[in-house]
Amino acid sequence: MTTLLKETLDSQSIYMPTPARIVDTVELTDLEKVFKLKLPSGFELNHRPGQFVQISVLGIGEAPISICSSPSRSTGGTFEICVRRVGNVTNAMHALKPGALIGVRGPFGRGFPIERFRGKDILFVPGGLGLAPLRSLINEVLDERGKYGRIIILYGSRSPKDLLFQAELKEWQRRADIECHVTVDRPDENWTGNVGVITTLFPKVTIHPRNMVSVVVGPPVMYRYVLMELLGKGIAEGNIWFSFERRMKCGVGKCGHCQMHHIYTCQEGPAFSYAEIKHLEEAL
């Protein structure tokens, strides 16, 4: 067994993808699909929650996609990515059927420092597609539930039909050892849950800031408002974590596209604590 990254480094070009097979696809919404990928035999992805892979559809191009399966559930060379259809590469991916090959490089970047979260309460705040990278971390934490304090998940989405991973959401809401609340901006006639932006969920949970880590992943506009809530609750800046979406062309700290001031997001991120990026105006 070797890791994909070692293969990428040892192969002739760090920019050349390894073919992985699509073993399953699950349509989550009109725009989002989960792809279960299998690496060639003998390879493991060996990623950390929060890391991403560069996915290629040869002839179309390459795009960075976060890994949405937890390391604990990515065995035998399989892993999952959740892809929103927004550009050429992601559109082409959506047209691919199980059995097709797709190019993979990575995993790249620094994931979340999960070992520093042990023993703490964790407040997950995913917005929209932000649940994809967070699902990797959430499931990793849940698979070792005893190592962490309270688990709180506050998930916001545009509308009920845009909710991702609905089966898992139901399971998280049912479990007694998870506090999971969901809100939508625009309800439909069957929606009985909370309506409003994600910050309207904060009054539903009590927060003890001294022992809390919060991990927030969502669209740029969401970060500011959630950040105000979290700082207002007294959570330390170093305990508030984000993940940034940047258009990496290489994933290996060369192409320059993801550089915020002096920081290459693909190398030092995409996971950052607020303490690390609060002085960077290009970050938030």
Partner 1 sequence: MSPKPTVAFFEFTSCEGCQLTVVDSLQDHPELLDAIDIVQFREAMSEKSDSYQIAFIEGSCTRPSDEAKIRAIREKAAIVVALGACAHLGGINAIRNRSDMQEVREYVYGDKANWFPTYEPRPISAIIKVDAVLPGCPIDRNELVKAVTHLLQGRMPQIPDQPMCIECKLKENVCVYTQGKVCLGPITLAGCDAICPTYGDGCEGCRGTISNPNFQSLREVMLEHGVSEEEIESRLTMFMTNQILAMAKAQ
Partner 2 sequence: MSFRIMPKAAVPDWITWLRSRYRVVGPRQLKDQFVFDEINSPDELSLDYPTSILPPKKYLLPPTEELFQFTTKGMHTKASLEPRPTVIMGVHTCDMHAIQLLDRVHNTGYADQHYQARRQNTYLVSIECLNPCTEHSFCKDMGTLSVPENFDLHLTDLGDEYGVDIGSEKGEELLRGFASVWDPTEEDYRHVNQVMAEKWPRFSYRFNFDVTELPDLLALSTKSSYWNELGDLCLGCGMCTKVCPTCYCFNVKDEVDLSLTEGHRVRIWDSCQVDEFALVAGGHNFRSTRALRQRHRFFRKGKYQLEAYGLIGCVGCGRCAAACLVHITPVKTFNELYRRHKQGEAVEAQS
Give the footprint of partner 2 on this chain (CB under 8 A).
9, 11-17, 19, 58-62, 84, 86-87, 101, 103, 219-220, 245-247, 249-250, 252-257, 259-262, 267, 282-283
For residue 88, state whether it binds partner 1 (rule: CB under 8 A): yes
For residue 97, state whether it binds partner 1 (rule: CB under 8 A): no
- Number of CB atoms found within 10 A of residue 192's CB: 7
For residue 205, state whether it binds partner 1 (rule: CB under 8 A): no
Min CB(221)–partner 2 separation in Å: 8
Q: Report the C-alpha gap between 187 and 192 in whole angstroms.
A: 8
Min CB(100)–partner 1 separation in Å: 15
Q: Report the C-alpha gap between 42 and 126 in whole angstroms.
A: 34
In the bound state with partner 1, the residue whose beta carbon lies nearer, of 91 and 159, is 91
Min CB(92)–partner 1 separation in Å: 7
Cis peptide before 107, with omega less than 30 degrees from 0?
Answer: yes
Query: How is 265-276 classified by DSSP, letter by letter?
Result: HHHH-BEEEHHH
Contacts of 110 (CB under 8 A, 6+ apart): 48, 50, 51, 267, 268, 269, 270, 271
Contacts of 147 (CB under 8 A, 6+ apart): 118, 119, 141
Min CB(16)–partner 2 separation in Å: 5
Min CB(89)–partner 1 separation in Å: 9
Min CB(214)–partner 1 separation in Å: 37
In the bound state with partner 2, the residue whose beta carbon lies nearer, of 122 and 263, is 263
Contacts of 253 (CB under 8 A, 6+ apart): 264, 266, 267
In the bound state with partner 1, the residue whose beta carbon lies nearer, of 94 and 233, is 94
In the bound state with partner 1, the residue whose beta carbon lies nearer, of 75 and 91, is 91
Task: Give the Å distances, CA to CA, from 140 to 87, 94, 168.
Answer: 30, 27, 14
For residue 59, state whether it binds partner 1 (rule: CB under 8 A): yes
Give the sign of the dihedral formed by CA 96, CA 89, CA 20, CA 22: negative
Give the sign of the dihedral formed by CA 273, CA 278, CA 280, CA 282: positive
In the bound state with partner 2, the residue whose beta carbon lies nearer, of 21 and 120, is 21
For residue 58, state whether it binds partner 1 (rule: CB under 8 A): no
In the bound state with partner 2, the residue whose beta carbon lies nearer, of 164 and 207, is 164
Residue from 9, 16, 26, 95 binding partner 1 (CB under 8 A): 95
In the bound state with partner 1, the residue whose beta carbon lies nearer, of 2 and 88, is 88
Residue from 4, 83, 92, 283 binding partner 1 (CB under 8 A): 92
Read off the tokens for 271.
């996971």
Q: Report the C-alpha gap between 236 and 222 in whole angstroms.
A: 19
Which does residue 220 touch among partner 2, partner 1, none (CB within 5 to 8 A, set by kind)? partner 2
| CA nearest to 48, candidates 136, 165, 142 | 136
Judged by the rule CB under 8 A, the positions of this chain that interact with partner 1 are 59-60, 88, 91-92, 95
